[in-house]
Structure 1
Amino acid sequence: MLATVANTTTPDTESSQFILPDLINDCHYPVRQNPHYDAAYHASVQWLMDVAQLVEPEIRGYIDMDANGLGVVCYPDADAFHLQVCSDFLNWIFVIDDWMESGVVDARKVHETCISVFRDPINFDTERVDGKMCKSFFSRFKETAGPGCTQRFIDASELYFAAVAKQVDDCAKGHVYDIGSYIALRRHMGAMRLFFNLIEFAARIDLPDEVVSHPVVKALEDATNDHVCWHNDILSYNKEQSRGHAPWENIVPVIMYERGLDLQGAMDYAGQMCKDAIQRFDSNRAMLPSWGEEVDRQVAIYIEGLQHWIAGSLRWHFDCARYAVSPDRIIKLLPKRPYKCGA
């Protein structure tokens, strides 16, 4: 449910600091690292220069962020070729998300161009940089991705761009989200379903429709999606509030608004939501049915890939320069810029 408000302030945030939830200790899954890290890292930097055409100082932020490092812990069993495609896609999603958010590119044009590329990466031609980035990684993706995986990637892309457009429209109209409506939108806006398709791609599997449509598999995906998006919101909150991002683009102020909590209370609440997501994941994994030996083997790989995304993304966020998380979990609030839609 959406509400429209004239005043976009949230409950009192005057404290100078807050304590992060103990997300690392609340997550009992191991973190593994892909052995092809070094080669993929250097190739990713070169890709940002050659295909994304980034130069200093813009490229420095993406090099320091190291999206390849996220791929290394989320796809630890991928071979060098598949890891590189995953890393290039991760770089693309961070770059394009930043460009759309800052207004450097028109989100509608990006949507139109990239979906055209995904439907025909060989024959569709474009001079747009975002489109060339798509052609670069998706033409390699299609070399080994199965037909089901490929179609799911395209479908998830449509949902991602639609969610971005909706968020921009809601912001312009002054709409704010309750927790339920925010979660529903965030599940697509975070592009996680695209990352899940890369689990299949990296493992050279193509799950049958009866598997991907099964309620237990969807529940496992939702639990993973929620945890990754929420721990991202928690760990990026300080940076976002300091840069004047819309307060309704993050689960923490959404909780503050709906529950009437202060910042620390909302952080604790969001941390409990993350713990609950892991419990949902474990409970649903225990209920997985059987589809036969070969399909069960593929399903086990896919579910382990979801687990890698929970633990790997969490670890990467704590190590990543983009989020600057203090080891003691005590975060001093950065000076706050005024809220501006689309800032």
Structure 2
Amino acid sequence: MFSTVTHTTTPDCEPSQFILPDLINDCHYPFRQNPHRDAACRASVRWLMDVAQLVEPEIRGYIDVDANGLAVACYPDADAFHLQVCSDFSNWLFIADDLMESGVVDIREVHESCISAFRDPINFDTERLDAKMCKSFFSRFKETAGPGCTERFIYASELYFAAVAKQVDDRAKEHVYDLESYIALRRDTGGVKPCFSLIEFVARIDLPDEVMSHPVVKALEEATNDHVCWHNDILSYNKEQSCGHAPWENIVPMIMHELGLDLQGAMDYAGQMCKDAIQRFDSNRAILPSWGEEVDRQVAIYIEGLQHWMVGSLRWHLDCPRYAVPPDRIIKLLPKRPYKCGA
């Protein structure tokens, strides 16, 4: 399934460090940041206080996460209005994910209320904070989003909620995935698919269903999703292993278990998976069919948006203090803690 890399088997003693794959040099796409970053950051803080109703010290944690910075990196051409919607969605995604993963809220109730808010953000009435956040950003989303783009966002969100519910249920049952089933689930738990609809939203395009359902376009989306999920798993591994996360909830220990590799071998293998995802993306972009001049122009914008997501998300991870990546890429393993915490 993936290219061959040189690796070793699991050693008798625990390692004290590992070297990250050279993800930046493997990802050759140009990186740009949105020029509206500062204004969007200020607006995001206000949104976290006024709509998400966060206070200290909780709000400080989400400000430090810098979900706004992720939107700035992944949607470099969005105007201020559209960027703010993307920033608010990113903030909501981090908050909702933490609430559902921690068991503070019932995932089925979050799913039902948020999808109802997406269906009718103006008239749907709720006292649930998670749904109020959805009403806030999605009412603005619908001001300019086309019907196809809107339906794709809602469908992708349905997949995300269903996948998170399955993961939490499987965790409670101590179900252990194999590598193939983990990959399939991770493509939805990452919450990346709804973000692709925001590419259309910020560009004010609404691609035909025949384009969005085409196998080559789907392959481009899958390659992008895989790259984002795998580099997230690679860069969050150290914190997750320290916080006591289940080993079957990150691609690195999954590779170690299934392929019998040591930590460095698994890191190298996961890095090759990221590289292969980029190669898949480039190969499929080269065989894109034509749907006519105007549609092809819009498809090119969408494909460039997927490219921005790969390099933008990667650069955001590398620049974020949350992941603490040193220039030499040598990561000292954090000591394991006797309790679980967020990733």
TM-score of the superposed pair, with normalisation by structure 1? 0.94
Q: Give per-residue Cα distances to partners, 1:262-312, cap 9 Å, x unaligned.
A: 111110100000000000000000000000011001100000000000000
- Secondary structure of 2:176 counterpart: strand
- Deviation, structure 1 residue 341: 11
Alpha-carbon RMSD: 1.6
- Contact between 1:203 and 1:301, CA under 8 Å: does it hold in 2? yes
1:76/1:220 CA distance change after superposition, 3 Å: same
Aligned to 1:3: none
1:213/1:269 CA distance change after superposition, 3 Å: same
- Secondary structure of 1:18 counterpart: strand
- Contact between 1:172 and 1:341, CA under 8 Å: does it hold in 2? no
- Secondary structure of 2:253 counterpart: helix
Aligned to 1:88: 88
1:12/1:98 CA distance change after superposition, 3 Å: farther
Query: Is the deviation greater in 315-324 or in 284-293?
Result: 315-324
1:319/1:13 CA distance change after superposition, 3 Å: farther
Aligned to 2:5: none
In structure 2, C-alpha distance between the alignment counterparts of 1:111 and 1:246, rounded to whole Å: 24
In structure 1, C-alpha distance between the alignment counterparts of 2:321 and 2:308, rounded to whole Å: 21
In structure 1, C-alpha distance between the alignment counterparts of 2:172 and 2:341, rounded to whole Å: 7
- Secondary structure of 1:207 counterpart: coil
Equivalent pairs counted in the alignment come to 334
In structure 1, C-alpha distance between the alignment counterparts of 2:193 and 2:12, rounded to whole Å: 35
- Contact between 1:67 and 1:90, CA under 8 Å: does it hold in 2? yes
- Contact between 2:98 and 2:342, CA under 8 Å: does it hold in 1? no
Q: Give per-residue Cα distances to partners, 1:223-274, cap 9 Å, x unaligned.
A: 0000000000000011111111111111011111100111111101000000
In structure 2, C-alpha distance between the alignment counterparts of 1:170 and 1:256, rounded to whole Å: 20
- Deviation, structure 1 residue 326: 1.8
Kindly report which structure 2 residues correspond to 1:2-17, keeping only aligned pairs within 5 A, or say none.
14-17=14-17
In structure 2, C-alpha distance between the alignment counterparts of 1:12 and 1:82, rounded to whole Å: 52
- Deviation, structure 1 residue 107: 1.5
Aligned to 2:34: 34
Query: What stretches of structure 1 of length at least 5 have no aligned partner?
Result: 1-9
In structure 1, C-alpha distance between the alignment counterparts of 2:73 and 2:154, rounded to whole Å: 24
Aligned to 1:187: 187
Query: What stretches of structure 2 of length at least 5 have no aligned partner?
Result: 1-9
In structure 1, C-alpha distance between the alignment counterparts of 2:159 and 2:14, rounded to whole Å: 37
Q: Give per-residue Cα distances to partners, 1:319-338, cap 9 Å, x unaligned.
A: 01221222211111111135
Aligned to 2:148: 148
Aligned to 2:162: 162
In structure 2, C-alpha distance between the alignment counterparts of 1:27 and 1:342, rounded to whole Å: 28
- Contact between 2:243 and 2:341, CA under 8 Å: does it hold in 1? no
Equivalent position amino acid for 1:235 in 2: L
- Contact between 1:246 and 1:339, CA under 8 Å: does it hold in 2? no
Q: Give per-residue Cα distances to partners, 1:127-178, cap 9 Å, x unaligned.
A: 1111110000000001110000001111111100000011112212222122
Aligned to 1:7: none
1:178/1:341 CA distance change after superposition, 3 Å: farther
In structure 2, C-alpha distance between the alignment counterparts of 1:247 and 1:160, rounded to whole Å: 21
Aligned to 2:3: none
Aligned to 1:63: 63
Aligned to 1:309: 309
Kindly report which structure 2 residues correspond to 1:249-328, keeping only aligned pairs within 5 A, or say none.
249-328=249-328
Aligned to 1:4: none
- Contact between 1:13 and 1:263, CA under 8 Å: does it hold in 2? no
- Deviation, structure 1 residue 339: 7.6
- Deviation, structure 1 residue 103: 2.0
Give % identity. 86
Equivalent position amino acid for 2:236 in 1: S
In structure 1, C-alpha distance between the alignment counterparts of 2:56 and 2:273, rounded to whole Å: 39
In structure 1, C-alpha distance between the alignment counterparts of 2:37 and 2:242, rounded to whole Å: 32
1:13/1:160 CA distance change after superposition, 3 Å: farther
